[in-house]
Every structure is written in structure tokens, then in C-alpha cells.
Amino acid sequence: MSLPQGSATFWCALKEPADKLEASWDDGSVIYDLVDGQFTALNPTSSAVLQNLRDEGCASAEGVGERLFGEKISSEESANLLQILEQLKHLGLVRDGAT
């Protein structure tokens, strides 16, 4: 898959990581890692970011924010979304354009 060009990092969800199980509710999700036996709770915003990438495809932090909120987001909101994306990457649920 080719990613859009530009200076922003684009993020993509890994559709169904083989080593993860997920349960979702209105108020968030829980990820179970089959390899290390760890549970990780995702708050509603993190769950929405992950689901947005799965449903709508790859995007920058700003792009995800615009898709979720329907308008351009502030630099602070962008920084918050970038932090969420980095956490999701650490969990093995998303990848950035560099990986």
C-alpha cells in the first residue's frame, strides 16, 4: 500500500494482529496480548482512534483528528493524538509510515 506523500507521519492500523485479542464496549476496549499475558485498557478516545484507522484507512494524527471531530484540530490536540498513536504502536496495534 502506498501512503500519501507529505511531511506528516501517516499511521495505519494492523487489521487483526495474530497475537492480540480485543474486547470493546462503549467506554473503551481491553487488549489481551497472547504472548506475554498482559491486559491493556484503552480509553474511549484511544479506542475511537484505533477504530477510525481500521475503518477509514491510514492517516496522519491531524487527519485522524479531522475525521473524528469533523474539523481541523489544534496543535495541542494533534500532540495528544500523536501520543495515543505512539501508545497504540507500542501495543502492536498500529504502525507508522516508517515501519
Residue 33 scores a pLDDT above 50: yes
For residues 50, 13, 62, 39, the Cα torsion angle rounded to the nearest 10 degrees is: 40
Q: What is the pLDDT of residues 48-83, one digit of tens each?
A: 999 999 999 999 999 999 999 999 999 999 999 999
With bands split at pLDDT 50, 70 and 90, how would you rate the model's confidence at 93?
A: very high
CATH of range 11-96; options 3.30.70, 3.40.50, 3.40.1000, 3.90.930 = 3.90.930
Identity of the residue numbered 23? A
* Of 52, 25, 46, 45, nearest in space to 89 by CA: 46
pTM: 0.86
Round to whole Å and give the CA distance between 57 and 51: 10
The pLDDT, as a whole number, for residue 86 is 96
Segments making up each domain of the chain, as ranges: 11-96
With bands split at pLDDT 50, 70 and 90, how would you rate the model's confidence at 88?
A: very high
